[in-house]
Every structure is written in structure tokens, then in C-alpha cells.
Amino acid sequence: MGGAAWVRQVLTFWRRSIQARVVVSTVLLSALVVSAVGWLLLQQTRDGLVRHRVDVVLSEVDAEMEFIEGRLAGVSGTEVDVSKQKRDLVDPLIDAGESRGYSVVLAGPEGSDRPLDEGGGRYTSGLDLSSVPDDLEEHFDDVNQPTAWSYTRIVRTLRDGSTSSDPGVIVGSQIQLPADGETYTLYFLFPLTEEEETLGLVTRALLTAAGLLIALVGGITWLVTRQVVTPIRMARRVAERLAAGRLQERLRVAGEDDLARLALSFNQMATNLQRQIRQLEELSWVQRRFVSDVSHELRTPLTTVRMAGDVLHDARSDFDPTTARATELLQAELDRFEALLVDLLEISRFDAGAAVLDLEDINLVDVARREVEAARPLADQRGIRVVVEEPDEPVRAEVDVRRVTRIIRNLVTNAIDHAHADSEEPVVVRLAADEQAAAITVRDFGVGLAPGEAAMVFNRFWRSDPARARTSGGTGLGLAISLEDANLHGGWLQAWGRPGRGAQFRLTLPRHAGAPLRHSPLDLAPELDSVADDSALEVEVDVAATDEVDQVGEVGEVDQVEQADEVGGIDATRGKP
């Protein structure tokens, strides 16, 4: 498995697992708190150890200096052998220091400019004089300086030639030799090895305790969150099964705590939903069965009435004008009644899931031209021009010719029916295609659509203005059937409109059957002229985010889906990612 795939899996697990997030967050916070507390404890322990060691060292140096001053007080002032006096003074200190673990350096006389290693001083064998800090040495450049101490690194040369460096405390104090009357400085270097070992032991103990504490906190957090998350996960699985249609699924209730009460409430909600869903399914089934039965049962009497009406219509020339007119009206209403029955039967097939596709690879331009020519008499009657804008290349797609023809016919006749009579603006049919999809838009410059109507136009029997007369005499089911035809192809049928500025419908189909749709070659919203007033922008209704180019005609598709749920579940953008 590649590194990128592993990282994606880890991120997916992190996003989906609340238990992992709680455990990791708790462990990290616990580690932060333990680290801060441990650091404070170590600092206090180190400061306490060093402070105690310094106090002991200063006391020991004071005792040594009192002893030395007592010895020097009994020395004759006539003795002039300075070297012997230095040796008698320092050698016992060096011997005592080797047995008690500290080092001694005698430097001076003070006031001279010679470095420490050139001053004729004496010091513990193997000690590197760089162990004496420069700032402490400068402190004792003058005579009569008080005792001072500092931290240092005690550097020694071992017998094998290697060197060692250990932390330590150096204390300096001045003394005057009677032999020459000069002031010399005694440096006592005490190692902090024991304190360093003690601090290391405390550090290891704290790290071990911190690790065990963090592991314990992580384990406790995991157990606690598991007790809470496990019922939630069970509820999620049951909810997924309910959403999949397994309405009999229920949560197991154990105990009387809050989670048990939540499970009980969840089960009661599932029971109520199951009862209501079954009622709705039964009602929907009865409704579909009623439409189907009525449609089929009306076919027989309609056939009889149609035969009688044809006879009367053929003989209308023998009737008086009133009766002949009634015969013509009867014939027109029978045609409309028969079209309504055909649409109802088609709707019943969609409801029953019995609609299938008879696919064929065709040029949609030919279909559009044919339907525009068929609708030309209706357009001429209303004084409306219909223009087909086609690309240079064929717009081919694998579709059911009968169903796509019906969609285009409904869109064209609907545009003619809603366009302003004798308008100078034509109904524009535009086609385009790319490698994945083919699209057709039908644009009219008629009454347009009010906010929210872009979704409702696909509802059954819905009309934007019930008081307005229809020219084409439709049944009110054309766009609903067209939507179902588009969904059956895995395509989109969408609407855009503005009051008084017209409407545009867009049909998008995959060029290859079964291929997913991700975009449309044509924009849903048309390009408006630059002189459009600002008030028109306030009633923009269909703007969505499906096309990369279209920033005007996309949000309303989301509104369309939401409103479709409210008015009966018709989704004009079904199948859209």
C-alpha cells in the first residue's frame, strides 16, 4: 500500500471515529499536563539538590579556611621560604581533598598580571586549570575580596590520557602567607556527581511514572468512550438498515440509564415511522392503482364514444350550424381526453417501475429539427418564430428515440404556448455536446417563472397561471412525464426563469448509456442583455453550482430540489452529483 493511500485511510478513520479522536486528544492533553508537572518537579528537585550541596560546600570551605588561618597564625613571621610554606599549606588540603572527593588550587599572589598557570601556584594532580572560571578568577584579582562561589565544569586528565568533565561547584577564598605577606587565593572544586546521579534517577522515575500514567489515562478513556460510542454505533447501524428499507430493525434496550432511554425513544420513533411509511405506501399504492385502473377502464367507453363522435363529426355538414359546432367541440374534447388517458397510462408505468429504454445511437439535431417543424403550425398560428441553433458537429447520444422526441416536443410546445403572441423574440432551440454529455436548451421570452416555480413546473397538473388560456391544449402532465423520461436516461431536466423575461429549459443526457453525468455542455441560465434593470436580479430563481462556467443559473437547482421535496418528491436534478 502506498504512503498516500495509507495517509488517506488514517485521515478517514480519524474523521469517522469519535472514539479515536477522544482517546488521542485525552492522551495528548494528559501528556502535556504530565510533562509540565514533571518539568516543574525536576526543576524543583534540581534546585533543591544543588542548593543543599552549595550550603554543605560553603560550610566545609569555611571550616577549612578557619583551620588554615589557625595554622598560619602559629607560623613564625621570620620564615622566608615561600615555596615551603605553600607546600605545607596546600599539600594537606590536596591529600584531604583526594580522600573526600574535592580538588584544591592555590593561585597568586593577587595583583600580579601572570595567568593562573604561571603564578607558581599548586593544585591537585590531574586537574585542568581551565576548571576555574574566568569571571571568578577576575573577582580575586584584587586583595581583601570576600569568599565567592560559582558553578563550573571540573576537567581532569585521567591516567590513560583521556579527560573527564563533570559538573561542580567552585568556592574561592583569599589568604595571606606570612612568609612574603602576599595574598593568595584558594579554590575548592567540589563535584556534583552524586547530585547528577540522583537527578537522573528521579528523571527516570518520573518518565516511567508519566508513561504508565498516560497509558492508564488512555486505557480508561478508551473504555469510557467505548461504553458511550458502542450504543451510538449500534444506533447508526440500525438507522442505516431502516434507511435501506428494513423497517423492522430495532435497538436492543438494556438497563435504565440515559443510553437505554435513548434506545427506547429511538425504537418508538422507528415504530411510528414504520407505521406512517406503511400507511403512505398503502395510500400511494391505492392512488397508483386507482390511476391505472381508471385509465384502463376508461379506454373502453372512450373507444365507444370516439366511434360515435367520429360518425357525428364526419356527418357535421348535414347538421345545422349549432349542432355542427357542438360536434367539432365534442371531437376536440375527445382528442384531449384521449391524450390525457395516454399520459395517465404513461405515468402509471413510471409509478409501477415498468418503464424501460429502447436505446439507439442518434443525432439529436435531427430530432430537434423534426419536432420544430411539427410545431411550426402552432407557432405560425401565434405569430412566433422558432429558431434552431445547432453546432457544426453532430450531437449524437445513445437514447430512447421515442422518449427523447416526447421531451423535445413538450419543451417546444410549452415554450410556444407561454411565449408572447406576435413577439419579435423567437423561441430558440440550442444544441451542444462534448465527450461525456449532450444538451438541448429551449428558450422563450414569454411570461417567465416566478421565484419557486422552476421546481413546481415539473409537478403533475401544475400550471403557472390557471386563469390563462392554453393554446396547445395540454394535459398538465407533459413536463412531469418529460422529467421521468430524463431520469430514466440518467439525465437532467432543469428549468430557469424570470418573471417577464422568459424561461429556459435544459435537457442534459449522457452520450453513452449508463455513464454518470457531472456537467452540461450548455449553461442553464441564458446570457441576459446588459441593459437589464437591477430589479430583475432580485427575482432570479434558478441558479445552481453544477456547471463550471455558469455562475448565474445554478443556485435555484438546489432550491428546486428542496421545493420538490415539499410538493411531492419530484426531483428535477435526480442523478446529479
Q: Residue 337 is part of a domain; what is its CATH number?
A: 1.10.287.130
- The pLDDT of residue 170: 92
User: Rounded to an integer, what distance in angstroms lies between the CA atom of residue 433 and that of residue 109?
Assistant: 103
CB 409 within 8 A of CB 378: no
Q: Is the pLDDT of residue 558 over 50?
A: no
**Same domain membership, residue 142 and residue 87:** yes
Picking from 482, 496, 474, 362, the residue whose alpha carbon sits closest to that of residue 417 is: 474
**Same domain membership, residue 452 and residue 327:** no
- The pLDDT of residue 43: 92
**Same domain membership, residue 308 and residue 402:** no
Confidence of residue 355 (pLDDT cuts 50, 70, 90): confident
User: Rounded to an integer, what distance in angstroms lies between the CA atom of residue 196 and that of residue 257?
Assistant: 55
Percentage of the chain exceeding pLDDT 90: 22
Residue count of the chain, please give it.
Answer: 577
Picking from 439, 388, 408, 426, the residue whose alpha carbon sits closest to that of residue 549 is: 439
Q: List the CATH number of the domain containing 160.
A: 3.30.450
Close Cβ partners of 175 (under 8 Å, ≥ 6 residues apart): 65, 68, 69, 72, 89, 183, 184, 185, 186
Percentage of the chain exceeding pLDDT 70: 84
Please indicate, yes or no, if residue 403 is contained in any of the structural domains. Answer: yes
Q: Is the pLDDT of residue 252 over 50?
A: yes
**Same domain membership, residue 367 and residue 315:** no
Q: List the CATH number of the domain containing 463.
A: 3.30.565.10
Please indicate, yes or no, if residue 328 is contained in any of the structural domains. Answer: yes
Picking from 410, 406, 408, the residue whose alpha carbon sits closest to that of residue 429 is: 408
Please indicate, yes or no, if residue 280 is contained in any of the structural domains. Answer: yes
Picking from 386, 476, 468, 388, the residue whose alpha carbon sits closest to that of residue 425 is: 386
- The pLDDT of residue 560: 36
Type and span of the H or E element at 185: strand 183-191
User: What is the residue range of 342's domain?
Assistant: 258-350
Express each pLDDT in 308-328 by its tens digit: 888 888 888 888 888 888 988
**Same domain membership, residue 361 and residue 329:** no
- The pLDDT of residue 566: 33
DSSP code of 172? E
Span 185-207, mean pLDDT? 90
**Same domain membership, residue 284 and residue 393:** no
User: Rounded to an integer, what distance in angstroms lies between the CA atom of residue 502 and that of residue 498?
Assistant: 6
Q: Is the pLDDT of residue 573 over 70?
A: no
Pull the grid cell for residue 478: 407533459
Span 414-431, mean pLDDT? 87
Q: Choose one of 350, 372, 394: the last residue of a domain.
A: 350
Express each pLDDT in 492-546 by its tens digit: 999 998 888 889 999 999 999 888 888 899 988 887 643 333 333 333 333 333 3
Please indicate, yes or no, if residue 530 is contained in any of the structural domains. Answer: yes
CB 113 within 8 A of CB 145: no
Pull the grid cell for residue 85: 610554606
DSSP states along 424-443: SSPEEEEEEE-SSEEEEEEE
Please indicate, yes or no, if residue 381 is contained in any of the structural domains. Answer: yes
Of 276-280, 422-426, 563-567, which gets the smallest average pLDDT?
A: 563-567
Surface-to-core class of residue 286, CB atoms within 10 Å of its CB (0-12 exposed, 13-18 middle, 19+ buried): exposed
Please indicate, yes or no, if residue 110 is contained in any of the structural domains. Answer: yes
**Same domain membership, residue 279 and residue 146:** no
Q: Choose one of 285, 318, 350: the last residue of a domain.
A: 350
Q: Is the pLDDT of residue 207 over 70?
A: yes
- The pLDDT of residue 1: 55
Name, of 188-202, 259-273, 460-474, the range with top average pLDDT: 188-202
- The pLDDT of residue 575: 35
Confidence of residue 206 (pLDDT cuts 50, 70, 90): very high
Q: Is the pLDDT of residue 256 over 60?
A: yes
Please indicate, yes or no, if residue 216 is contained in any of the structural domains. Answer: no
Of 52-66, 113-127, 361-375, 406-420, which gets the smallest average pLDDT?
A: 113-127
Q: Is the pLDDT of residue 119 over 60?
A: no
**Same domain membership, residue 319 and residue 410:** no
Please indicate, yes or no, if residue 333 is contained in any of the structural domains. Answer: yes
Pull the grid cell for residue 413: 410546445
More confident residue, 459 or 445: 445
Picking from 241, 234, 230, 229, the residue whose alpha carbon sits closest to that of residue 273 is: 241
Pull the grid cell for residue 329: 367541440
**Same domain membership, residue 293 and residue 409:** no
Pull the grid cell for residue 93: 588540603
User: Rounded to an integer, what distance in angstroms lies between the CA atom of residue 396 and that of residue 368?
Assistant: 12
- The pLDDT of residue 101: 81
- The pLDDT of residue 427: 92
Mean pLDDT of the chain: 79
What's the number of domains the chain is made of? 3
CA atoms within 13 A on the CB side of 467: 0
Picking from 455, 443, 454, the residue whose alpha carbon sits closest to that of residue 527 is: 443
**Same domain membership, residue 514 and residue 386:** yes
User: Rounded to an integer, what distance in angstroms lies between the CA atom of residue 511 and that of residue 523?
Assistant: 17
Q: Choose one of 159, 191, 223: the last residue of a domain.
A: 191
**Same domain membership, residue 497 and residue 445:** yes
Span 463-491, mean pLDDT? 72
**Same domain membership, residue 543 and residue 504:** yes
Express each pLDDT in 262-282 by its tens digit: 888 888 888 888 888 888 878
Span 153-160, mean pLDDT? 86
Close Cβ partners of 183 (under 8 Å, ≥ 6 residues apart): 108, 109, 110, 111, 143, 144, 174, 175, 176
User: Rounded to an integer, what distance in angstroms lies between the CA atom of residue 235 and that of residue 267?
Assistant: 10
